[in-house]
């Protein structure tokens, strides 16, 4: 049984690593749909669906939406696709979410193909984020409050604490490969696509 028509990619990487940009390019070139749980939630709220009505008060109150609801939203989104060709960026964030997503994908016959982990040394990430703040200030824009070194360091630390279990989980399942995130956009992109081995099932 082949899953060649399906492709599921899960992007991992710290803030400032350029995940969003690379995910967007990969989506375009490999005809994948970027799945953002935030976008799906907002869409359901806008359409006033049953799930939307359930999550609206949580979003309004700034609460996290429980995992079973997130998985139901993703199931709803994926079940409507003929070929499940997707990139997840920003989900899953925890091991229970990853496990629930695996169960769902197996049910749909579209297991995870690849989990690229963008790796960039902390100091470079922090320099990038601070530089972004500097450029905004130079253009007369208000720098984002998180574009300073102290906040950037804190975000890296939180990211590592939260994501390490996910890294271990996907490494244990043989899906993870690390990508050197230092270099030009094209160089990093070539490393990402080069690491995607054809599925041998």
- Nearest Cα residue to 77 out of 134, 8, 2, 140: 8
**Distance separating alpha carbons of residues 66 and 97, to the nearest angstrom:** 10
**Residues 6 or more apart in contact with residue 138 via CB below 8 angstroms:** none
Question: Of these residues, 25, 128, 132, 153, which one is catalytic?
Answer: 132
Is 19 known as a binding-site position?
A: yes
Is 46 known as a binding-site position?
A: no
Is 164 known as a binding-site position?
A: no
Query: Which region, left, alpha or beta, applies to residue 174 given φ > 0 means left and ψ of -120 to 50 means alpha?
Result: left
Active site residue 93: yes
Question: Of these residues, 25, 75, 93, 128, which one is catalytic?
Answer: 93
**Treating both helix axes as pointing N-terminal to C-terminal, what angle do 149-172 and 95-107 enclose, rounded to 10 degrees?**
40
Is 13 known as a binding-site position?
A: no
Question: Of these residues, 19, 77, 85, 191, which one is catalytic?
Answer: 19
Active site residue 25: no
**Cβ–Cβ under 8 Å, residues 177 and 195:** yes
Is 155 known as a binding-site position?
A: yes
Look up tokens 């997707």; give the residue.
Answer: 86
Active site residue 75: no
Angle at 196 between CA 193 and CA 75, to 5 degrees: 105
Active site residue 173: no
Is 183 known as a binding-site position?
A: yes
Question: Of these residues, 46, 144, 154, 173, which one is catalytic?
Answer: 144
145 beta partners:
none
Is 154 known as a binding-site position?
A: no
Query: Which region, left, alpha or beta, applies to residue 85 given φ > 0 means left and ψ of -120 to 50 means alpha?
Result: beta
Is 37 known as a binding-site position?
A: yes
Is 17 known as a binding-site position?
A: yes
Active site residue 154: no
Is 62 known as a binding-site position?
A: no
Is 100 known as a binding-site position?
A: no
Is 174 known as a binding-site position?
A: no
Active site residues: 19, 93, 132, 144, 155
Binding site residue list for ATP = 16-21, 132, 183
Binding site residue list = 16-21, 37, 42, 63-65, 90-93, 97, 132, 144, 155, 183
Binding site residue list for AMP = 37, 42, 63-65, 90-93, 97, 144, 155
């Amino acid at each position: 049984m082949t899953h060649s028509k399906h492709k599921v990619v899960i992007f991992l990487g710290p803030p400032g690593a350029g995940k969003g940009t690379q995910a967007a390019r990969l989506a375009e070139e490999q005809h994948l749909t970027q799945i953002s749980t935030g976008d799906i939630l907002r869409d359901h709220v806008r359409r006033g669906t049953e799930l939307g009505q359930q999550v609206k008060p949580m979003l309004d109150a700034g609460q996290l939406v429980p995992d079973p609801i997130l998985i139901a939203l993703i199931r709803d989104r994926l079940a409507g696709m003929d070929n499940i060709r997707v990139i997840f960026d920003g989900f899953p964030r925890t091991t229970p979410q990853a496990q629930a997503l695996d169960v769902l994908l197996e049910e749909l016959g579209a297991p995870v193909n690849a989990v690229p982990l963008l790796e960039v040394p902390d100091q470079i990430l922090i320099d990038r984020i601070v530089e972004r703040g500097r450029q905004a200030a130079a253009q007369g824009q208000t720098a984002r409050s998180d574009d300073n070194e102290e906040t950037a360091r804190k975000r890296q630390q939180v990211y590592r604490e939260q994501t390490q279990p996910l890294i271990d989980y996907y490494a244990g399942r043989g899906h993870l490969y690390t990508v050197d995130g230092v270099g030009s956009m094209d160089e990093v992109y070539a490393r990402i696509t080069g690491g995607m081995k054809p599925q041998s099932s």
